[in-house]
A = this chain, B = another copy of it.
Amino acid sequence: MKYVTGARCVKCGRRYDAVPDLTTCECGGILDIEYDYELIRHDVNKDALSERRLCSMWRYREFLPVEDDTPEPPLRVGWSPLYDSARLCGELGLKKLYVKDDGLNPTASLKDRASSMAVAKACEAGQDTIACSSTGNAASSLAGNAAAAGLKTYIFVPERAPKGKVAQLLTFGARVISVQGNYEETFELSKAAIDEYGWYNRNAAINPYLSEGKKTVALEIMEQLGWEVPDFIAISVGDGCTIAGLWKGLKDLKGASFIDRLPRLISVQAAGCYPINRAVRDNTPIEPMEENTIADSIAVGVPRNPDKAMAAIRESDGITVEVTDREIMEAQSLLGVTAGVFGEPAGVTGTAGVKKLCNEGVLDKNCTVVSVVTGNGLKDVDNAIRFAGEPIKCMNDLEELKGKLFGGDR
């Protein structure tokens, strides 16, 4: 990996060689992959990137911690659309709001970026089995990406995971363990089993390469914006790994001089579960919280990656905001009606936060904001149904229809 110089613990600063099955530091801290920015800058620039025909996260090869000859995993992950939604801007009264729809990834969430990386690194490590625990999206993305590459998977999900997500991963042939307990217990059992059997570990807070996959969402946003740095990027936060990856991508771009300043992050959590935002605001250590939100993908009471996430929010001079389940579902509808984007509850939580900050006057109307939609609404149809209302029921009779549509007087 000629662009990677090593890995460094974000807690104690200890350095490690970037071996394929790298996990956490001896001190328990999480590692960060470090690059030779000078060499990246020497080998690739914006013009060269723009010429590349590869429309996936792997177009940013120089920024990724893989060997030159590591094959791209089979599924086409990334290069999701960035929509400039004038109608959504109008609704919120913002000058410019872009929506990055990461629900259009192969298994319908941003987590495909991490799973694609996990598959690449497992292959480098010569392993044929990958395991993880997840509230659902990391799981299904691992199942799909691993299946396409011919790798076996063991996947630990908490019992409350929506059945759509479970069906998806069973269809991909994963061995699925439904842990009778919360996310914390699910994580613990996966860790014990991974230690016992030596499977490749795709737990995002353990394996430092996964953030490097997730960071590609930042690389794409910046290239799609023509390298014009927005004022804010808003994203939903659960475990903390995604916002950490987003931030890492931005810092790498700045390190390699692809951008000259950094945007501020907007960390949006559910009002029913916001341990990271609370710790940032109160400047206190992370404390467990209950998991009371319909946004299951970010219902993480004991975040596994608070250090990197909190550092990202602080370093970026970020904003923290919480939104209720109702505000989340209103944002789902708002995105659908104005932008044609259907996100799952956790997927639209970032947009809910932007809306709230606009309403509260926290965001300047003249600022430019990017909101990342992290998962597809089809992942959790029950909640969509519950909030979307019911269709108009009608027999095959035009007069009946007229009455129901226009009260009969048109």
Residues on A close to B: CB < 8 A? Answer: 50, 53, 55, 74-76, 79, 81, 83, 85, 87, 101, 104-108, 143-150, 154, 157, 159, 163-164, 166-168, 170-173, 175-181, 185-186, 188-189, 192-193, 196, 332-333, 336-342, 376-379, 381, 384-385, 388-398, 401-402, 404-405
Contact = CB atoms under 8 A, between A and B. Distances in A.
Contact of A172 (B105, B171, B340): B340
Given A79-B55, A171-B333, A179-B395, A147 B340 contact: yes
A106 B168 CA distance: 18
B332 A171 contact: yes
Nearest to A115: B340
A138 to B, nearest CB: 15
B342 A171 contact: yes
26 contacts: A50-B53, A55-B55, A55-B79, A76-B81, A85-B148, A87-B150, A143-B340, A163-B385, A168-B342, A170-B388, A170-B391, A171-B333, A172-B342, A175-B392, A175-B405, A176-B392, A177-B401, A177-B405, A178-B391, A178-B392, A180-B393, A189-B398, A189-B401, A192-B398, A378-B378, A381-B381
B333 A384 contact: no
Given A188-B396, A189-B394, A147 B339 contact: yes
Contacts of A108: 376, 378
A243 to B, nearest CB: 25
A139 to B, nearest CB: 10
- The 3 residue pairs across chains A and B that have the minimum distance between CB atoms: A148-B340, A173-B337, A170-B388
A384 B18 CA distance: 40
B163 A389 contact: no
Given A172-B336, A175-B392, A179-B395, 13 more contacts: A74-B85, A76-B104, A104-B106, A157-B391, A166-B388, A167-B384, A167-B385, A167-B388, A168-B342, A171-B336, A181-B395, A189-B401, A196-B402
B385 A179 contact: no
A270 B391 CA distance: 28
Contacts of A392: 175-178
Q: Chain B CB within 10 Å — which of A145, A168, A379 has the most?
A: A168
A398 B339 CA distance: 46
B398 A193 contact: yes
Given A340-B148, A401-B189, A401-B193, A378 B168 contact: yes
